[in-house]
Amino acid sequence: MTSNSKQRYRFSEAPIWQVQREYYEEKGTKAWNNDQVPQYITSNPMIATAYAEMIFGFLQDRVNRGNGSEPVYIVELGAGAGRLAFHVLTELCELIDYAGIPLPSFRYIMTDLAMENIMAWKAHPALQAFIAAGVLDFARFDAVNDSVLNLMVSGTTISEGDVKQPLILVANYFFDSIPQELIYIGDGKVYETDVYIEQSKHHDSLKPAEWLDQITLRYEHRPAPEYEQETYPYRDVISLYREQLEDSHILFPAAGIACLDRLSGLSEGGFLLITADKGDHLLDSWKFAEPPELILHGSFSLTANYHAMNYVFEQKGAAVLFPPHHYKNINVGCILHLEQPMDYPNLRLAYRRSIERFGPDEFFSMKWWVDHHLDSMGLQQILSFWRLGGYDAEFFIQSTKRISSLLPESNEDEKQDLLRGIQRMWSSYYVMEQRYDLALDAGLILFEMDMYEHSKYYLEISVHEEQDEVVSTVFYCLAICCFELDLVEDAKRYLQKLLELEPENEEALALLSY
């Protein structure tokens, strides 16, 4: 970090991008602790289910086109904490098993710039079954420079033209976080928007997040006729901007488009891109756009220019699927850079069902409302939203207090649905770097429902995983569970553990005296 406030930078070459890389390499998977770098909106079970539905539809379409013998590679760019990959794989495998129809085999490849993230995925307990089944692999991938994928589990390298089937590329919160050009359209002309970075005298001693928090960006325009020359590869879309826009700052994804082109070269069949981001695909969204501000969350992000990406690949014959309406929180779309892209009806129908009609953006808007009205919701409403979200653990965690208060008035059907939901949630729970004792919450709710066998199962998991932080209440509940299940010696053992923490506990002493 040796920049100074007197030096002028082309926006895509400014030090902010190097600092961005340093942040993720320094933090590893800890970058997502406390949702500092947002991950829930692009990694929850609901969005993963939508992606799995589209991938499943694509696999069906490949078989219907007579292309079912070769494997399909699914490459996630910037897989981050790894949670999205886990949920997509879980749901996709369930769909394939449920359907019971012939489909191409697949391999999911998680990629990232930070090697620490890759090593964490490779060791993550939730991913081991997928690794063992041969459907999951990992690769370090630099979106700005790399042209091959070196797979860590299989030891193979995917180079230009090696893959027969089209690639499926998954890119969530990716294009807004890699270098972008910044241009300005005014009076029908194109200008490069350069940036000055104002920073403190002691910037060399700051960590990346601190440095980003303290800098100030100042922009200046300069004529940039090179964008209008015949040799510029994206001249057509720039010409459109000159004709349609005025007094507008445009983030231009040259690096993102180049990355997609390089990845496309790995396959003989092109690619399907499934992507979600803070990104505008409607040209009107860029009219009179102000200079960008860094959205800080430890690292930073900007708005992705989906319009430019769509335009460039449509010119190459691709089909594009994006919602006809404006997005609020996150924009989810597909680019079908494929031969005869409209001949993929199952994929397109899945997009219509899972994204366009009601998708992750609508779900997140509803979740915002639910978060603010949870204390007034009934148990059926909570169960319904939990089911809609794919039995998400984060929603259960925030709802346990309200669920507990509603249990005295609940009926047996609702209790059985709660039990089933807990079991579904636990089977697809992905532990993040920042742990939460989900087993404890599940066990206590089940204890309140007098489901002692199930409660004992989860509470014992909690005791095993949180040995240094077990509270006396857990041992008491376990003792009661064991008494109810006629496991008297186990009950006494848990009471003894309780008394080690609270020697004068009257209830424990009374129970031991029987």
Query: HSE-up of 511 (CA within 13 Å, CB side)?
Result: 26
Strand residue runs (E) in 62-135 = 72-77, 106-112
What the block records as the tokens of 492 is: 């006494």
- According to DSSP, the residues that pair with 334 across neighbouring strands are 274, 321
Q: Is 1 exposed, middle or buried (0-12, 13-18, 19+ CB in 10 A)?
A: middle
Give me the phi and psi of 123, to 5 degrees please.
-100, -5
Task: Give the DSSP per-residue string, 244-285.
Answer: H-SSEEEEE-HHHHHHHHHHHTTBSS-EEEEEEESEE-SGGG
3-state helix, strand, coil in the chain (%, to 5): 50, 15, 30
- Of the candidates 143, 217, 228, 145, the residue with the CA atom closest to the CA atom of residue 183: 228
Rounded to two decimals, what is the model's pTM? 0.93
What is the CB neighbour count within 10 angstroms for residue 196? 17
The pLDDT of residue 2 is 44
CB 259 within 8 A of CB 176: no
The pLDDT of residue 438 is 92
The pLDDT of residue 507 is 86
Q: Are strands 106-112 and 72-77 parallel, antiparallel or unpaired?
A: parallel
Start-to-end C-alpha separation, the chain: 70
For the four alpha carbons of 285, 289, 291 and 296, in that order, the dihedral sign comes to negative
Task: Give the DSSP per-residue string, 35-52.
Answer: GSS--HHHHSHHHHHHHH
Low-confidence ranges of the chain (pLDDT < 50): 1-4, 37
Give me the phi and psi of 185, to 5 degrees please.
-110, 120
CA distances (Å), origin 385, targets 327, 335, 367, 376, 424: 21, 30, 8, 14, 14
Task: Give the DSSP per-residue string, 198-252.
Answer: E--TTGGGS-HHHHHHH-EEEEEEEE-GGGGSTTSTTHHHHHHHHHH-SSEEEEE
Give me the phi and psi of 30, to 5 degrees please.
-70, -15
Give me the phi and psi of 24, to 5 degrees please.
-70, -35
pLDDT tens per residue across span 472-510: 899 999 999 999 999 999 999 999 998 888 888 888 888
- According to DSSP, the residues that pair with 273 across neighbouring strands are 169, 335
CB 219 within 8 A of CB 194: yes
The pLDDT of residue 38 is 53
Which residue bears the tokens 């089937």?
Answer: 165
The pLDDT of residue 280 is 94
Please tell me the distance from the alpha carbon of residue 386 to that of residue 383, in angstroms, as a whole number: 5
The pLDDT of residue 216 is 86
pLDDT tens per residue across span 64-98: 999 989 999 999 999 988 999 999 999 999 999 99
Q: Are strands 331-337 and 216-223 parallel, antiparallel or unpaired?
A: unpaired
What the block records as the tokens of 378 is: 């009934």
Query: HSE-up of 349 (CA within 13 Å, CB side)?
Result: 9
CB 414 within 8 A of CB 379: yes
Please tell me the distance from the alpha carbon of residue 284 to that of residue 446, in angstroms, as a whole number: 52
The pLDDT of residue 35 is 53
